Amino acid sequence: MVARTAVVVGGGIGGLSAAVGLGRAGWDVTVLERVAVFQPVGAGLVLQANGMRCLDALGLGDAVRAQGRPDMSGGARRADGRWLARIPADDLERVLGTSAIGVHRAALHDILLSALPAGTVRTGARVSAVTADGAVTYESSAGPVHIGADLVVAADGIHSFVRRSLWPEAAGPVHVGVRAWRGVTPVWDGDLVVAITWDRGAEFGIVPLVDGRVYWFAAVNAAPGGSAEDTRIPARFLRWHHPIPALIAATGAVLRDDLACLDEPLPAYVRGRVALLGDAAHAMTPNLGQGANQALEDAVVLAAVAGQPDGLAAYDSQRRPRTQQVAKASRMIGRFGQQLENPVAVAARNTLMHLIPPRLALRSMAGYADWHPPAPLARGGSFDA
């Protein structure tokens, strides 16, 4: 049988996981990535139950667990450390059947890369033209290269070139009025209560990693702008509860982003032989911690259906409603949580959080992560074509 060919545009978490899945389903895959050399991103990530199930389906769950730490989130706190809502550490795992894992992004990226046959990923390959019938041009050091594929997976991120080319009518990303900082504290051997902390228009989250490292993120309401090089954390966080000031003080390099998302849902993720995946299809705010987890879901579903008759239509109909619902919920949680500024609204929110029974809070948190890959993949069967 002649292998079907797939070109994946973008070597982020979405593109690499799609490449692994398609490869295991028998596709001959090439990944085109514009950067010449992958630079390790100095940040972590929480892989929730849905993302971990996808990695299990790709045969990589155990490798990720070995490089990560169960994420035992204890709930939500105020800036002075008082609890708004507590969730017993093991309850989420009990409800979902698998623990969320805090992992360094570089570790996850390396695991995905090393699952691909040598030569699959071409770096320094910026895609500069694509058509709906699968013709792709990329710029290399030797000049433009033209290739064709039975399937093109556009996993080129929030500012997707492929989306702009083939969905010219679609609205682009919008800023959400939030600036975020991310850092990894290299060594931490103090006590660590894991929680998200909210104050007026601001939040701070703590995620332990392996080897004593701690990933943290902070966000405040802010208009986009200023210098991306200016990574100073607002002084207000230095007055927040322990260990927030100490974690910040112990961190070197920090990443800064003005957050954006695709606010207008796309009417289709597929055009001809081209399928959008991950942030290219549904860039969402990070408030539910689901962006990368949804990209992993896209990848395993695409790998499961792409070879079937009308497979891309099935991908579109399975992925679009779910991802757009998660994106909408994530935006709403951001508005209700970190972005809320009005003192009366904040007080009402805090009272509500005290009143909600932990069981209910748990169920709503678990809801978005409670997803299983298509049955044959969940059994680990159909990838070994």
Ligand X SMILES: Cc1cc2nc3c(=O)[nH]c(=O)nc-3n(C[C@H](O)[C@H](O)[C@H](O)COP(=O)(O)OP(=O)(O)OC[C@H]3O[C@@H](n4cnc5c(N)ncnc54)[C@H](O)[C@@H]3O)c2cc1C
Q: Hey, which residues between 94 and 133 contact ligand X (CB under 6 A)?
A: 126-127
Question: Least separation, in Å, of the C-beta of 19 and ligand X?
Answer: 11
Query: Which of 201, 208, 289, 373: binder of ligand X (CB under 6 A)?
Result: 289
Say how far apart CA 14 and CA 302 lie, in whole Å.
Answer: 11
Complex with ligand X: residue 12 or 208, whichever CB lies closer: 12
33 contributes a contact to ligand X by CB under 6 A: yes
136 contributes a contact to ligand X by CB under 6 A: no
Complex with ligand X: residue 280 or 312, whichever CB lies closer: 280
Say how far apart CA 328 and CA 338 lie, in whole Å.
Answer: 15
**Which residues, 6 or more positions from 239, have their beta carbon under 8 angstroms from its beta carbon?**
79, 245
For ligand X, which stretch binds (CB under 6 A), given 115-123, 233-241, 277-285, 337-345? 277-285
173 contributes a contact to ligand X by CB under 6 A: no
Q: Which two tokens stand for residue 374?
A: 């298509």
Residues that bind ligand X (rule: CB under 6 A) add up to a total of 33
Closest CA to 7 of 138, 113, 111, 109: 138
**Which residues, 6 or more positions from 359, have their beta carbon under 8 angstroms from its beta carbon?**
none
290 contributes a contact to ligand X by CB under 6 A: yes
For ligand X, which stretch binds (CB under 6 A), given 144-152, 164-172, 223-231, 274-282? 274-282
183 contributes a contact to ligand X by CB under 6 A: no
Say how far apart CA 237 and CA 280 lie, in whole Å.
Answer: 32
Query: Which of 13, 55, 76, 96: binder of ligand X (CB under 6 A)?
Result: 13
Please, how many CA atoms are within 13 Å of residue 294, restricted to the half-sphere of its CB?
29
Binding mask 139-158 for ligand X (x = CB under 6 A): ----------------xxx-
β-pairing, 126-130 vs 121-122, is unpaired
Closest CA to 241 of 14, 1, 44, 78: 78
Q: Which residues bind ligand X (CB under 6 A)?
A: 9-15, 32-35, 45-46, 126-127, 155-157, 161, 180, 182, 217, 257, 278-280, 286, 289-293, 295
